[in-house]
Structures are given as structure tokens and as C-alpha cells.
Amino acid sequence: MFSDAFVIKYFNGHLYVGGYQLALNGQIQAGYWVDGTFTQLYADPTITANIQDLTVSGSDVYVTGWIDSSYYSIPFYWKNGRVKVALAVGKGKVQFDKREDLKKRDSEREVKRATMHQLKRK
């Protein structure tokens, strides 16, 4: 079995290591070790979880990272190996908003161009 570590913390006499291990079946298992005991964070073999940081507060272990889906990465955090926050849904701009932004950008560019032209004359 292959393992890789990204975060190492020492807290109250215990060693915490965050990373992943590659199981014999080829599955990447993201998780953390506490004094050598592994806790897996995400069990779906079709999705890859990644760890970014690990923090310990009292007896709680907080891990931040993301899960790669087929199109985008979703930020997550885990508390004691359980997902606490999954995702937020946002709404994109409508065509009217995009046109307004383009007009504003064009006018700002014209002002900057005119200002630079005046400065070059002096």
C-alpha cells in the first residue's frame, strides 16, 4: 500500500498526519492518521478527495480539502472524519448583466486611454 502525507501536526502528545493512501484495489483513500491509526474521509471509489490542511481543537480533528467531481472541485471540511459542509449553489449572470459589465469596461478603457494620451502630450 502506498501513502502520501501533506500535513503534519503535533498536538497534546499525539501525531496527526493528513494525506491519502492507495489501497490494493487502486482506490485513493483520503484521510488522516492519529498515532498511526488511519481515518478515511470519503469512501466513494469513483471520486477523489484531497486534503489541504488539518487542525486539532481539543478532541476534535478538522480537515479542509476538496472533492474532485467529473467537472469541478467542491470544497469540503470534515470534523472527526464526517463531512460538515458540502457545497454552495450560485447563480450565473444573465445576458443583461454581462452587457452592462462590457459597457462599463469599455468606458473605463476609454477614460484611461484619454488620460494616458493627455499625459504623453505634456
Q: Are residues 74 and 100 in the same domain?
A: no
Q: Are residues 35 and 73 in the same domain?
A: yes
Q: Point out the residues of the chain with pLDDT beneath 70.
A: 43, 45-46, 69-70, 85-97, 122
> pTM for the complete prediction?
0.61
Q: Are residues 103 and 78 in the same domain?
A: no
8 Å CB contact between 49 and 65? yes
8 Å CB contact between 86 and 66? no
Q: For residue 1, give the C-alpha cell.
A: 500500500
Phi and psi torsions of 95, nearest 5°: -55, -40
Q: Are residues 80 and 98 in the same domain?
A: no
Return all residues near 3 (Cβ < 8 A) that are at least 6 apart: 19, 20, 21, 22
Check residue 109 and give its pLDDT: 87
Give the range of the structural domain holding residue 97, as residue numbers without chain letter.
Answer: 91-122
